[in-house]
Structure 1
């Protein structure tokens, strides 16, 4: 069952209800943040990187710890290009299934995988890699409270084209292009589900948004713009 038409409605309901999450940025400038979940993937992510290199634009990646461990060289390639990195949990298990201590361990385990793959000091990663997107976008007020108490920043979305169901490159691109606004935060997937199309889909989306005059920013830049308003 495709829920793509429902996500814009959910965004309008949830964004004001949970203002401490990053959903988008209220800006007048035509800027947008491209984000990718569920990676890194040994085939899909390198293909995506070629597209991002082609247009020389930044993106943000929300990684699964288990995938970082499986493809450390891909993770390192993403990081070395200057793309922003966040956490998506260790194995895509929903955060609502964890107790608070286990959830914290899950995030730390993912940070450890990133530190090892990218050849970074763990203390540095734990200080700087602190954006968290819950798997499936599922959270509770208590989960948000816990994340904030541990100095993590919850990141959500404003444009969700449901690419993981592979409805087709043109369909995903059309959904994004019809919904995007100044300050939008777009979610795509470069993992096992949806990743097969991600490079071509991203190419089509980026080409069209550049023609519209949009500039691309990272999640970190979107946070800064959101807090400046």
Structure 2
């Protein structure tokens, strides 16, 4: 069963209910974030990097610790090219199914894998996106307690079920607005198509006047807007 039509509805319901999470950036800006989950992958990530390089775009990657350990050289390439790095857990397990002890271990083990591959200190990698987008208020409370930042999404084109490159591209283009946070995948599920997707998507978004920024920049924009309010 495909859930793509439901994600915009879920977003509209959850976003105001959990305002401390990062769902999007400044809605009045043309800045958007291109994000990738489930990597790094030995086949799928490098073609993504090549396309991002060709447009001088910085993206954000939410990594599984097990994948970092399998492909540390790919992880290092992502870091060396200046992209933003976040956590997606050690394995792709829904966080609400884990005990607090296991959840903390999953995040810290992933930070350790990233440190070993990229020489990034744990405090430099504290953005967390829950696998499958599943979380509870208790999950978010633990993130805050452990000094992590909760990163969600505003556009989820369900690329991991591989509905076709053109379908994914059109889903993004039909939903994109200022501040959008777009979720794609460079891992086992969806990674086969991701380079072709962004190869088509990026020039069309640039033509519409959008600017690509990292998740960290979206946080700074959110913090700036909160100070004004």
SS of the aligned residue for 2:121 comes to helix
1:104 corresponds to: 104
- Work out the CA distance in 2 between the residues paired with 1:37 and 1:125: 20
Aligned length: 225
Q: CA deviation at 1:226?
A: 1.1
1:79 corresponds to: 79
Q: CA deviation at 1:125?
A: 2.1
Q: CA deviation at 1:126?
A: 1.3
- Work out the CA distance in 2 between the residues paired with 1:172 and 1:199: 12
SS of the aligned residue for 1:22 comes to coil
2:93 corresponds to: 93
More divergent stretch after superposition (22-31 vs 140-149): 22-31
- Work out the CA distance in 2 between the residues paired with 1:95 and 1:165: 21
2:179 corresponds to: 183
- Work out the CA distance in 2 between the residues paired with 1:52 and 1:137: 25
What is the TM-score normalised by the length of structure 2? 0.97
Matched, 1:5 2:5: yes
SS of the aligned residue for 1:67 comes to helix
Q: CA deviation at 1:148?
A: 0.5
Contact in 1 for aligned 2:86/2:129 (Cα 8 Å): yes
Contact in 2 for aligned 1:27/1:225 (Cα 8 Å): no
Q: CA deviation at 1:98?
A: 1.0
Q: CA deviation at 1:176?
A: 0.3
2:170 corresponds to: 174
Structure 2 counterpart of 1:164, from 160, 163, 168: 160
2:149 corresponds to: 153
Question: 5+ unaligned residues in a row in structure 2: which ranges?
Answer: none
SS of the aligned residue for 2:51 comes to helix
Alignment of 1:191-202 (within 5 A): 191-202=187-198
Contact in 1 for aligned 2:25/2:31 (Cα 8 Å): no
More divergent stretch after superposition (161-170 vs 94-103): 94-103
Contact in 2 for aligned 1:62/1:132 (Cα 8 Å): yes
Q: CA RMSD in A?
A: 0.7
What is the TM-score normalised by the length of structure 1? 0.97
